[in-house]
Structure 1
Amino acid sequence: MDDITYTKGIYTATATVQPLDGGKYRGVVVLARDAGDEPENTLYEVESTSSTPEEAFEEAKALAHRILGEIDL
């Protein structure tokens, strides 16, 4: 499954899926802030686990939208 990237101003949120032990999956978002010399990265994880990678990916995409929606430019 390919990652998906969303951008808002100098922020880029990349949603992906992380496999876990026991056949579960977790959605993950890396938020990058490009403000000059060195980009700053912050990792966010979906709180719940999912039984399929597709479900975890949908959760990660929703989290990325929420994170970017809360950013004031």
Structure 2
Amino acid sequence: MAAVTYTKQDWKAEADIQRLPDGTYQGVVLLTRMGSPGADSAPQTVNSVSETPEEALEEAKALAHRLLADVGGG
């Protein structure tokens, strides 16, 4: 399953998933400011786990939209 990238102004959010040791999945979002090569951002994880990668990716996409809304000023 491929990661999904969203952009807003000079921000980029990459939504992806990770498989957890127990076989469930969790959405992950990496938020970065484009043009800032030294500004590494820690990945942010979705608060819940999902039974399928599709569900986890949907949760990650929703988190990516919320993060971009916050940094983009609404």
Indicate how the Cα distance of structure 1 residues 36 and 56 shifts in structure 2: closer, same or farther if over 3 A, else same: closer
Question: 1:15 maps to what in 2?
Answer: 15
Segment of structure 1 superposing worse, 12-21 or 33-42: 33-42
Question: 2:4 maps to what in 1?
Answer: 4
Offset from partner CA, 1:28-51 (integer Å, 9 cap, x none)? 000011244534323110011100
Give the aligned residue type for 1:9. Answer: Q
Stretches of structure 2 lacking an aligned partner (at least 5 in a row): none
SS of alignment partner, residue 40 of structure 1: coil
What does 1:1-73 align with in structure 2 at a 5 Å threshold? Answer: 1-71=1-71, 72=73
Stretches of structure 1 lacking an aligned partner (at least 5 in a row): none
Give the aligned residue type for 1:45. Answer: T
Aligned CA RMSD, in angstroms, stands at 1.7
Higher strand share: 1
TM-score (norm 1): 0.89
